[in-house]
Every structure is written in structure tokens, then in C-alpha cells.
Amino acid sequence: MKTVLVTGAARGLGKSIAEVFLKNNWKLIASARDISKLDTHKNLIPLELDLTSEDSLKQFIEEVKKLNLEIDLLINNAGYNAKDIGDNDYFQSTFRIEPFSAKAVDQTLWVNALMPMQLISGLLKVLSPESVVLNISSWLGSITEKKAAGHYAYSGSKALLNMFTRGFALELEKSDISKCQSTVALNPGWMRTDMGGGGRVKGPMKRCFLQKKF
Ligand SMILES: NC(=O)c1ccc[n+]([C@@H]2O[C@H](COP(=O)([O-])OP(=O)(O)OC[C@H]3O[C@@H](n4cnc5c(N)ncnc54)[C@H](OP(=O)(O)O)[C@@H]3O)[C@@H](O)[C@H]2O)c1
């Protein structure tokens, strides 16, 4: 039985991904900030993870290691957009050059890029020989595709995640740091989730950013 780890598996894209893998008889390590919100299933191992907290991440990594499983697919899915807090002043301080708040922007970088990379680092040794690390990105993190003004925190966090994915891919290619086979940053396209909202229906963007170990 193969094992997949999905962060943010209680709702949105993460929940859908979780359902697909359970249906295909994979073991699933699923994270949420409140594990009571995760589905129950004989192959689902629920673990708490709050990506704003380094202690929570450390604890999560320890719990995963204790399971003594090799991970075949690690999906950094959990993501944060400052608009979801519902505080417009705070959101604008991450979205517009005036007012711009480094502290507010930093929170998004932390959850969407820095902590996902720390998670990969912490689990390097439990990744299986054929494993893949998938980082859920966004077209908003593409330097060449970006057409919308501002949105510094979210766009910047996904651009950073893309660059980190590339850096990690090159490290995998050039050294024996992990048995992990490859890493990918993928744009899922617009989705009607809490983050994506219900408004726009234009069809998913087809672009993805692929970094592979050859
Ligand atoms: N929706 C779109 O149109 C779209 C487009 C491009 C890319 N994406 C990306 O796709 C991924 C999934 O997004 P979604 O649309 O499914 O969003 P969503 O429905 O709003 O779900 C967000 C997920 O992230 C988790 N999360 C947020 N803050 C967290 C934190 N501090 N610590 C741990 N987990 C946290 C949530 O966990 P809890 O349940 O614990 O709150 C939830 O599972 C994200 O990386 C997002 O950036 C989305």
C-alpha cells in the first residue's frame, strides 16, 4: 500500500485529493488545524498541523516519523490568502503598495512557502525511493503570467514556493540528500473553494510549473 501525505485535507482541494487517494486504496496522512474536521476512514491517519506555528510543525514531523511509514507522495496543499481573514485593512496591507505591511505579508510567505519547505526538510529521510513532492502553487506566482496588479503577499508567496521547488529539484539532481525522485510545483487553476470563492467560471488555467529530477 502506498502512502500519501496531504496538508490541509479537511476542505477544498486537499479534501478532494484525499478522497481520490483513499478511493485508490492509498494510506493517507492527513493534516488539519482541527482534526475533528477530517473525514474518518480506516486508511486515514489524522494529524494536527498549524503552519503559523513552528512548534506545531515540529510536533507534526515527529508524529509522522513515529508512524514508520515511507511517504510516496508529499503534497503541500495547505495555503493561505489574507483576504480569507475577513479584515479588509489587513488584506489591503498585503495587496496594495499603500498601505504595505511587511509583517502582514510575512505571514503569507510563512504559511505558503517557508513552512512547506521546512516540512519537506523535516521529512526528507522518510520519503520513499520513487517519491514525489508536490507543491500546490498558483498562476499568481508566475512572474511571466502575472497580469493583475499588487497582491504582493499571495503572489509573492507562490513565486517563492516556485523558486524553492526549483532549488530543491536541482539539489535532488545533484546530491544524495534524499531518496525522493522528483518535485513539482503545480497550478491547480481556479477552483470554487473557500479561497477561490464562487464568482468566476472561466475554466481552469492549464499552466503548471514542472521541476523534475532526471
Ligand atoms: N481556490 C483556488 O482557486 C486556487 C487557485 C490556485 C491555487 N490554489 C491553491 O490551492 C491550495 C488549496 O486551496 P483551496 O482552494 O482548497 O483553499 P481552501 O478551501 O480555502 O482551503 C485552505 C486549506 O489550507 C489550510 N490552511 C490555511 N491556513 C493554514 C494554516 N495556518 N495551517 C495549516 N493549514 C492551513 C486549511 O486548513 P484548515 O481546514 O485547518 O483551515 C485548508 O485545508 C492552496 O495552496 C491555494 O493557494 C487555490
Phi, psi dihedrals of residue 87, rounded to the nearest 5°: -110, 105
Read off the pLDDT of each residue in 126-150 and give the average, rounded to a whole number: 94
pLDDT tens, position by position, 16-56: 999 999 999 999 999 999 999 999 999 999 999 999 999 99
Read off the pLDDT of each residue in 73-94 and give the average, rounded to a whole number: 96
The residue assigned the cell 510536533 is 59
Name the DSSP letter for residue 134.
E
What residues does ligand 1 touch, defined as CB less than 6 Å away? 8, 10-14, 32-33, 37, 49-52, 77-80, 111, 136, 138, 188, 190-191, 193-196
Cross-strand partners of 75: 6, 134
Whether the predicted pLDDT of 202 surpasses 70: no
Report the nearest-CA residue for atom 19 of ligand 1.
Answer: 12
What separation in angstroms does the CA of 88 have from each of 17, 83, 84, 130?
Answer: 31, 7, 10, 44
What structural domains and CATH numbers belong to the chain?
Answer: 3-211 (3.40.50.720)
pLDDT tens, position by position, 90-136: 999 999 999 999 999 999 999 999 999 999 999 999 999 999 999 99
Q: Are 89 and 19 within 8 A, CB to CB? A: no
Residue 128: how many other CB atoms lie within 10 Å:
18
Q: Which of 72-81, 90-99, 112-121, 198-207 has the lowest mean pLDDT?
A: 198-207
Tell me the three cell numbers of residue 95. 495587496
pLDDT bin (cut points 50, 70, 90) of residue 207 is very low
* Separation CA 29–CA 46 (nearest Å): 6
